[in-house]
Amino acid sequence: MPAQNPARLPRRWLTAASAFALSTALLAGCAVYKPEVLQGNFVSREQVSALQPGMSRDQVRQVLGTPLLTDMFRSNRWDYVFTAQHRKGVEPQKYAVAVFFEGDALARIEGAEDLPSETEFVERMSDGKVYKPRNLEASPEKLQSFTDSQKAKAKPQPELPEAPSTTSYPALPQ
């Protein structure tokens, strides 16, 4: 291996040091990207107020949705958890509601006292933006024009084949 020229060695270091300084200066303005993470089921105060003791599990699922956690060792408890992290301009949020059953009937709810209403939740998550409610009602004329256009787009259905004359089949060979 040939000996390096002592005059060139500092020049290489200078080049490497200046490249490092330049890259550091360019990256100094960059921040680490943290993706927004929304997880779980948001349950509002209005949803919890619709629950009544004695409701069946299916009725509770209709109101609150599928639970995020169901414990296989305690089948009488459903947990609904919602977390929001790394949302720009919004503080991290966490809501947890536990629903308890006796048999198939709703017995009690825990954690519902800290839940926001739907309006409060939207205000917290919107970072100060104001959303105007939209008019979602259709006039009878608009409804009629919609049904007329759907009928015009409808394709004629092909005729279905007739059912077989017999539903008994021969025995399978043994």
Q: What pLDDT does residue 93 have?
A: 83
Quick one: tokens of 163? 């059912």
| Spatial separation of the C-alpha atoms in residues 77 and 101, rounded to whole Å | 6
Q: How far apart are the first and last CA of the chain?
A: 85
| CA 109 – CA 120 distance, rounded (Å) | 21
Q: Write down the mean pLDDT value for the chain.
A: 80
Return the pLDDT at 8: 55
Q: How far apart are CA 142 and CA 138, in angstroms?
A: 6
Alpha carbons 68 and 111: distance in angstroms, whole number: 15
Alpha helices (runs of H) in the chain, residue ranges in sequence order:
8-27, 45-49, 57-64, 118-125, 140-153
**Per-residue pLDDT at 51:** 92
Nearest C-alpha neighbor of 85 from the set 43, 30, 34: 34
- Kindly report the pTM of this predicted structure: 0.54
> Mean pLDDT, 10 residues at a time, over the chain (174 residues)?
57 73 66 75 90 93 88 87 80 89 93 86 74 79 85 76 71 80
pLDDT of residue 57: 92
Tokens (6 digits) for 144: 């009629």
Fold of the domain built from segment(s) 37-125: Beta-lactamase Inhibitory Protein; Chain:B, domain 1 (3.30.1450)
DSSP 139: -
Q: What are the tens digits of pLDDT across the range 68-92?
A: 888 788 889 999 998 888 777 778 8
d(CA 164, CA 155): 27
